[in-house]
């Protein structure tokens, strides 16, 4: 279920963490634009801090949960709290229910209140001097925000700056003046503004900058997007065929998948087809594609490195054309022989998506990345994430079921395959649950994948935050909606530039990509 607030708790932080939970909460709130609570657990009690967005009074939200708290205090935008560790799950549910009553999904989209739209040439030193009479600016008296359309990024001006190289600086022009513009923490947007001919619709505040005795107008960017006239939303391939590039992105979003794949196979060129999960992989191989298709093999988490190497050798000899995968192919022996990489479904996380793109950047021959997923896949990925990464209460119920059936079989344990038949819950949920329980030391699995046996371990309490799979699931649940929007809505040029940037700063030879 979609959460209306961002929640983090852990017992792995030391006492010093209590001094920075407010800073962490503020950063998470700014990043994900949701009410945020961060708790540092110390034994049977947790201390934490919260930060809030417009539309929800944090102090009132905590009052609504007061029966679950030891103490709390603060105001509408920031607050602190102390809670018994045992009550955290109930508090999390109560806070989310209160936030859900007060907020709409639209409220979770950050908005900027602009004083007025202007032209860069009107923002002179004299104008800013007049605005100084309204200082000091702060939370109760925010600095005025301006908007401008079609501000041109001066070619060659964007740079990454700062000690940590995480800030973005550029020159914006309206053909009359050129003004320096800075956006803090926006180095990842460099690839978007570095290309020639970019124009922005931007929101910003303006200030007087003094450097080495010189005074100038400086813009502090709050938000921006590439102006619609400076991007082509209808390009099917980028870079275009006239541009020199070894990698091209093919935009066929919302196409008919079966017809597209059959046409691609007819070219008799090597492909990797990525699907959402094993169920979709079965569907692709047994229902979507006709049995007459030859030269296609299955690849999933059970595929060994030796098998991947054999696939590479078959590709080299022309005996194999297509690898259909529900995971990611990391064996570099496969990479040189891949001409096409096809994304049939949406990918839940950026790291997995870009890791799947890497082979296209490791061969000198031209490779193609095909996007053939569509809007209908948005609901499918939401359902998949919900099943793949269960909530804490679901895991508690599942563990009770696992214990019961394993104990019923005595010391011999219980077949993992039998647990995935649906009686304990959705197979995807059970599969993830077993991984989490193994990471926490609650169970152990032995044998080969597909034939493993589950046995119980001596019971010891352990916090879920000690499970990497559980932590990754929580992060994916919070972040996947924005990455799904990127995959569905981003224009083809911007997508290619981000893919290029992510893949070129990665080392393809590093299997930990």
β-pair type (453-456, 443-446): antiparallel
Residue 498, pLDDT > 70, answer yes
Give the residue with greater pLDDT, 505 vs 488.
Answer: 488
Architecture of domain 384-475: Orthogonal Bundle (1.10)
* Strand ranges in 198-327 using DSSP code E only, listed in sequence order: 199-211, 214-226, 237-238, 247-251, 271-274, 296-299, 322-325
Span 285-328, pLDDT tens digits: 888 877 657 789 999 988 999 999 999 999 888 889 899 999 99
The C-alpha angle with vertex 482 and arms to 478 and 485, in degrees rounded to 5, equals 145
- For the record, the structure tokens of 49 come out as 């801090």
Q: Over the range 140-172, which residues count as b (16 or more CB within 10 Å of their CB) and which as e? A: eeebebbbbeebbbeeebbebeeeeeebbbbbb
Residue 381 to residue 488: CA distance in whole angstroms: 12
CA distance 312 to 40: 48
Q: What is the DSSP string of 406-465?
A: HHTTGGG-EEHHHHTSSSSS-HHHHHHHHHHHHHTTSEEEESSTTS-EEEE-------GG
Q: What is d(CA 407, CA 456) in angstroms, rounded to the nearest whole number?
A: 8
Dist. CA 58–CA 189, nearest whole Å: 32
The three-class DSSP label of residue 195 is coil
Q: What is the pLDDT of residues 351-396, one digit of tens each?
A: 999 999 988 888 777 889 999 999 999 989 999 999 999 999 999 9
What's the CA gap between 46 and 39, in Å, rounded? 6
Tokens representing residue 12 in the block: 């792995």
What pLDDT is recorded for position 319? 86
Pick the residue with more confidence: 67 or 134? 67
Q: How far is CA 167 from CA 11, 40, 41, 479, in A?
A: 33, 30, 33, 22
Output the CA torsion sign for 107, 110, 115, 119.
negative
Fold held by 237-380: Rossmann fold (3.40.50)
Domain ranges for the chain: 6-108, 116-230, 237-380, 384-475
Model pLDDT for residues 410-430, shown as the tens digit of each residue: 877 899 999 998 889 999 999
As a CATH number, domain 116-230 is 2.40.50.140
Candidate from 382-386, 457-461, 493-497 with smallest mean pLDDT: 457-461
pLDDT at residue 432, as a whole number: 94
The first and second tokens of residue 432, run together, are: 């993830």
Pairing, β 6-10 against β 116-117: unpaired
Looking at domain 6-108, its CATH architecture is: Roll (3.10)
Q: pLDDT digits over 141-161, tens only?
A: 778 889 998 888 998 899 999
With a pLDDT cut of 70, the percent of the chain lying above it is 94
Prediction pTM value: 0.58
């Amino acid at each position: 279920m979609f959460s209306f607030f961002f929640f983090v708790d852990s017992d792995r932080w030391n006492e010093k963490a209590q001094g920075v939970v407010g800073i962490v909460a503020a950063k998470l709130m700014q990043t994900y634009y949701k009410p945020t609570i961060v708790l540092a657990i110390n034994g049977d009690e947790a201390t934490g801090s919260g930060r809030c967005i417009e539309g929800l009074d944090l102090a009132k939200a905590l009052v609504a949960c007061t029966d679950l708290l030891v103490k709390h205090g603060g105001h509408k935008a920031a607050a602190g709290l102390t809670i018994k560790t045992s009550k955290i799950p109930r508090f999390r549910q109560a806070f989310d229910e209160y936030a859900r009553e007060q907020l709409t999904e639209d409220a979770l989209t950050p908005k900027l209140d602009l004083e007025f739209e202007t032209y860069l040439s009107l923002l002179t030193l004299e104008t800013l001097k007049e605005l100084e009479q309204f200082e000091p600016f702060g939370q109760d008296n925010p600095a005025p925000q301006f908007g401008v359309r079609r501000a041109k990024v001066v070619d060659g001006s964007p740079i990454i700056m700062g000690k940590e190289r995480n800030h973005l600086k550029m020159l914006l022009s309206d053909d009359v003046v050129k003004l320096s513009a800075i956006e803090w923490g926006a180095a990842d947007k460099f690839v978007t503004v570095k290309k020639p001919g970019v124009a922005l619709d931007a929101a910003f505040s303006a200030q007087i900058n003094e450097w080495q005795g010189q005074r100038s107008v400086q813009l502090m960017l709050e938000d921006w997007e590439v102006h619609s006239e400076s991007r082509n939303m209808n390009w099917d391939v980028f870079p275009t065929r006239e541009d020199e590039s070894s990698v091209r992105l093919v935009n066929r979003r919302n196409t008919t998948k079966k017809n597209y794949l059959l046409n691609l196979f007819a070219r008799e060129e090597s492909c990797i087809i990525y699907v959402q999960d094993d169920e979709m992989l079965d569907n692709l191989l047994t229902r979507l594609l006709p049995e007459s298709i030859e030269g296609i093999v299955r690849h999933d988490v059970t595929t060994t490195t030796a098998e991947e190497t054999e696939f590479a050798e078959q590709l080299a000899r022309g005996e194999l054309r297509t690898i259909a995968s529900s995971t990611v192919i990391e064996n570099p022996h496969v990479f040189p022989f891949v001409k096409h990489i096809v994304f049939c479904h949406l990918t839940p996380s950026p790291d997995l998506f870009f890791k799947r793109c890497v082979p296209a950047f490791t061969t000198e021959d031209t490779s193609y990345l095909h996007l053939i997923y569509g809007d209908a896949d948005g609901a499918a990925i939401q359902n998949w994430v919900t099943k793949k990464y269960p909530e804490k209460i679901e895991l508690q119920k599942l563990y009770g079921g696992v214990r019961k059936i394993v104990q019923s079989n005595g010391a011999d344990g219980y077949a993992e395959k039998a647990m995935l038949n649906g009686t304990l819950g959705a197979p995807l949920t059970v599969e993830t649950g077993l991984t989490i329980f193994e990471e926490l030391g609650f169970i152990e699995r032995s044998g080969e994948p597909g034939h493993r046996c589950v046995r119980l371990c001596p019971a010891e309490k352990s916090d879920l935050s000690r499970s990497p799979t559980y932590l990754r699931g929580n992060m994916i649940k919070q972040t996947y909606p924005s990455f799904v929007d990127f995959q569905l809505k981003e224009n083809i040029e911007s997508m290619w530039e981000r893919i290029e940037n992510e893949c070129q700063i990665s080392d393809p030879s590093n299997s930990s990509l």
